Amino acid sequence: MRYVIYARKSSESEDRQIQSIDDQVNRLKQLAVQYNLNIVKTITESKSAKTPNTREKFEEMLDLFENKKVDGILCWQINRLSRNPIDSAKIQWFLQQSIIKSIKIPEREYLPGDNALLFSIESGLANQFIVELRRNTKRGLESKLDKGWMPIKAPVGYINNKENKTIEKDPERFDLVRKMWDLMLTEVYSVPQILNIANNEWGFRTKQYKRIGGGELSRSNAYRIFTNIFYAGICKYKDKQYHGSHPVMVTLEEFDTVQAFLGKKGKPRPQKHNLVYNGIIKCKECGCSYTGEKKIKYVKSAKATKTYIYYRCNKKKKNINCMQVPVREEDLTKQIEAEIQKFTIIPEFKDWALEILNRENNKEIENRSQIHKTQYDTLLATQRQLDNLTKMRCREMITDEEYTKERNILTKQIAHLHQQLNEIDDRINNWLELTEKTFDFAQNARNAFINGGVEAKKSILLAIGSSFAIDNGKLEITPNELLEPIAKGYKELEAEYFRLEPEKRFDNYEENRDLQPIRVKWGG
């Protein structure tokens, strides 16, 4: 008889312990030599047999039998032929009709005249294995989801803990992905802009796996970040939601805000009007956001239409009767310009103040350096005390209680000295540079706001304040703490500047101690 060797290896997990295709073929060829079988064809397939009519090579083998080109099958086990009742029935029918004259496995041979019940039992066991596996897998999956763990590859910003089967923070990327959400929540930046900042300014790179990863974040992955509710602590699997046990990156409110900004499919929605203050200003009475809307009116006297933009409270909170009235955009812009004016300085004053602060800083550096040396010496002496204390305990010169008490005192002192040294280093290196950048902003912000576009206006507004609220049409801004010294002391300092004669302005910095609050504010 003419035999065909059929070897199958599934990529599914239930078949991981089954011998590989090469091993099957080699062993079957040895068996063919042992029993002197005539092998006319070898068919191999890497596909699951749990679903009928999905295996091309299997159907090809059946065609060989129907065309009477082969007579028997040599395979490793019956379950290599089928794990579903439909394909099993085809094989059994061909065997009963003598289309297949022999099915050989290493343990036995199946012939057309054999009891059909035996073959049915063998095939049924193979099929039952799949049924039970599916049931057990589903039960285990549901149990894992009920505990809050998604059976997925961790999204960007998270990593899979293979040992505990959990999802944890990626220590290298979690905070950076959160910064991407912060940028999106401003509603100033689009996804492509955030992607460019992350890849080119922050140097963001995805996690390296065996074959993939390690490169720049892709555009599709960036959109996937901002539309995946997993980041808000929700596990979504097959249209069902579970409360996740993984670390939450954003709140549900923040997630919903971004979805409204992007649209349902994660792509920027077409906006008829790109309004400046949308999503930035809150209502002081109820806490809801102010949203702009454009109104077009026909003015009879001018015989033309005129466009007005109003900002009104959303009033989305239940059980709150918010009475705030709409505010025109022009009125908001005037109030913001007046607020920026508080921080605006003239170029001459900036140069004069920085020159004075720079000279004063040179003197302060000497004092700070001496303080730094004194504290460093104190740190070394304290560390030696701790070392000596340890030696005394090793020699049993003091008790455990005495050692623990003194060690805790010295350890706290060492930590405090380290902190003081770091603060001194930061003040020496950073405060003057930070002051200069703040003065540059204060000098140019008003003109940039007046002449800038939508995004420029939003950026400047967000830079001057940390929160914005409207109460009875009046905009209240909580100023950025770096700008507070200018708002509080600039007018008096500017008057001092103009009081001095031009040739004495740089020579009389010793008399201008009004600058001390500004120097202290920036770390002096």
| Two tokens, residue 313 | 């409270």
pLDDT for residue 245: 86
pLDDT for residue 51: 83
- Specify the range with the lowest mean pLDDT, choosing from 56-70, 169-183, 389-403: 389-403
CA–CA gap between residue 157 and residue 189 (Å, rounded):
20
Q: pLDDT, tens digit, for every residue of 410-466?
A: 788 877 777 766 665 555 555 566 677 777 777 787 888 888 887 788 888 888 888
- Specify the range with the lowest mean pLDDT, choosing from 76-80, 114-118, 336-340, 451-455: 114-118
CB atoms under 10 Å from CB of 97, counted, come to 10
Q: pLDDT, tens digit, for every residue of 53-63?
A: 888 899 999 99
SS3 of residue 362 by DSSP:
helix
Contacts of 195 by beta carbon, 8 Å cutoff, 6+ apart: 217, 219, 222
C-alpha dist (Å) from residue 264 to 64, 133, 182, 256: 52, 37, 20, 10
Which is more confident, 420 or 200? 200
Q: pLDDT, tens digit, for every residue of 22-39?
A: 888 888 899 899 889 999
pLDDT for residue 509: 46
pLDDT for residue 15: 45
Among residues 162, 144, 142, 177, the alpha carbon closest in space to that of 247 is found at 177
pLDDT for residue 426: 55
281 has a pLDDT exceeding 50: yes
Q: What residues pair up with 314 in beta bridges, in sequence order? A: none
**Residue range 70-89: average pLDDT?**
86
333 has a pLDDT exceeding 60: yes
pLDDT for residue 74: 93
**Residue range 258-265: average pLDDT?**
73
487 has a pLDDT exceeding 60: yes
Contacts of 433 by beta carbon, 8 Å cutoff, 6+ apart: none
Report the range out of 130-144, 228-242, 466-480 with the highest average pLDDT.
Answer: 466-480
492 has a pLDDT exceeding 60: yes
Contacts of 507 by beta carbon, 8 Å cutoff, 6+ apart: none
What fold, for 158-262? Hect, E3 ligase catalytic domain fold (3.90.1750)
pLDDT for residue 13: 43
Radius of gyration of the chain (CA): 38
pLDDT for residue 272: 45
* pLDDT class of 139 with cuts at 50, 70, 90: low
Q: Taking the complete model, does pTM exceed 0.75, yes or no?
A: no
93 has a pLDDT exceeding 90: no
Beta strand pairing call for 102-104 and 72-74: parallel
CA–CA gap between residue 135 and residue 132 (Å, rounded):
5
167 has a pLDDT exceeding 60: yes
- Specify the range with the lowest mean pLDDT, choosing from 113-117, 247-251, 495-499, 511-515: 511-515
| Two tokens, residue 114 | 């054999």
Please list, residue by residue across 289-312, b when 16 or more beta carbons sit within 10 angstroms of its beta carbon and e when fewer do: bbebeeeeeeeeeeeeeeeebbbb
pLDDT for residue 243: 81
* pLDDT class of 165 with cuts at 50, 70, 90: confident
In percent, how much of the chain has pLDDT > 90? 13
Q: How high is the mean pLDDT of the chain?
A: 77
Domain boundaries, the chain: 2-145, 158-262, 282-339
514 has a pLDDT exceeding 70: no
CATH class of 2-145: alpha beta
pLDDT for residue 451: 83
Q: pLDDT, tens digit, for every residue of 352-365?
A: 666 666 665 555 55
**Residue range 332-351: average pLDDT?**
81
